[in-house]
Amino acid sequence: MPRAFLIVIDSVGIGGAPDADQFFNGQLPDTGANTVGHIARDVGLNVPTLAALGLGAAVKLACGEAPAGLDVTPTGAWGAATEISRGKDTPSGHWELAGVPVPWDWHVFPDTDPAFPPELTALICELAGTEGILGNRHASGTAVLDEEGEAHLRTGWPICYTSADSVLQIAAHEEAFGLERLIKLCHDLAPTVHDMRVGRVIARPFLGEVGNFKRTANRKDFAIAPPSPTICDYVHDAGRTVHAVGKIGDIFSMRGIDDLRKGRDAALMEHIHDLADAAVDGAFVFANLVEFDSEYGHRRDAAGYRDHLQWFDGELAALLPKLKPDDLLIVTADHGNDPTWAGTDHTRERVPVLVHGLGARALGQLQFVDVAATVAAHLNVPYAGQGKSFL
């Protein structure tokens, strides 16, 4: 039986979203944002494997112009996918790629100080066993450690913050506050936050001293469960093995998932290589590589983003020869995060759909849900979700 590999390179958008004018970074609409295109324009981009799969052609399809250095004739199948969910966040993008567009509007906390309603703040304090919280505003996850880390170590209060996404993040020192205590706080808070239609509560542990705080790899997302079956459920229910790599287990609340592997992106790529060697016939490997987004997009680090793309390109070149003749590999993204753009939030963009295993083919304009339908068709499992297979 054939296998399917779906790798989401988090936030690697290609511009051209038709509704970008309805999404904002501060007061600036996302119109014209183009993660791949602007990285190539501003700092250069050398990704021969992705280019051969059709990355440049996908950018051109999305927004009308191929970036310098990527305008090559593809040897893979390629297209550009448009999202219909009313969010430019991780759950929206992943759910829709898995066949389930978000059927509601997410709740977003206001960009005010304080950002959280008093009753929610009181609940956090009760669950944390503290007299108050720090932060309570829209903030960059790294900047807020510099701004509130000293007070956190002094008071023991958790650092709570949000963004333009539907999310509540809680940062705490792994040793001073306790990692298990932080995870339990987020776990116990999540049902109340989910009832508000807030997509995720994220535990953001860190270590270090004042002036040198570093987030650790022990992040944990508590995401609201998808409202209907996803591609993971359909594959699992057909008796196949579903391997989740990275944040996938958190995003889908471990539903329909048999095996979970976590770590930083370099370790996650090792897991993907191992699964290419060892995963049984009929398996589905669903991976998310988050550091494009978390380390470089939000921090508006175009050079770092470029370097990470080039690192992934090398890893992809090593992965492709390991795939079996009847394997399908899809590389895509969940939203954009243009590191040359204003602000620090995601950008509303189309995403590439790059496919190894179909030969050279133009797939055209796609919907996110077409990815799930294609995985189901390739694995020959029953599927009642949305989308149209491009096989």
10 is in an annotated binding site: yes
CB 349 within 8 A of CB 332: no
Tokens of 329: 């590999």
Query: Which is nearest to 264 in space by CA: 307, 303, 308, 302?
Result: 308
Could you give the CA distance from residue 257 to residue 288 in angstroms, rounded to a whole number?
14
Orientation of helix 265-278 relative to helix 302-319, angle to 10°: 10
Cα separation, 38 vs 21, in Å, equals 18
Q: How far apart are CA 245 and CA 230, in angstroms?
A: 16
**E runs forming strands in the chain:** 4-9, 24-25, 28-29, 77-82, 134-138, 159-162, 167-173, 200-209, 212-215, 220-223, 242-245, 259-261, 284-289, 328-332, 351-356, 361-367
Nearest to 81 by CA among 367, 389, 349: 367
Listed residue (278, 290, 371, 318) closest to 90, CA to CA: 290
Measured between alpha carbons, how far is 253 from 247 in angstroms, rounded to an integer? 10
End-to-end CA distance of the chain: 16
DSSP letter at 161? E
- 107 in a known ligand binding site: no
Q: Is residue 187 annotated as involved in ligand binding?
A: no
Beta bridge partners, 209, equal 212
Q: Is 293 annotated as a binding residue?
A: yes
Contact 363, 390 (CB under 8 A): yes
Q: Count CB-CB contacts under 10 A for residue 362.
A: 12
CA-only gyration radius of the chain, Å: 20
Give the Cα separation of 163 and 257 in Å (integer): 29
Helix or strand holding residue 321 (H, E): none
Q: Is 271 annotated as a binding residue?
A: no
Question: Position 9: which residue type?
Answer: I
Binding residues for Mn(2+): 10, 293, 298, 334-335, 346
Binding residues: 10, 293, 298, 334-335, 346
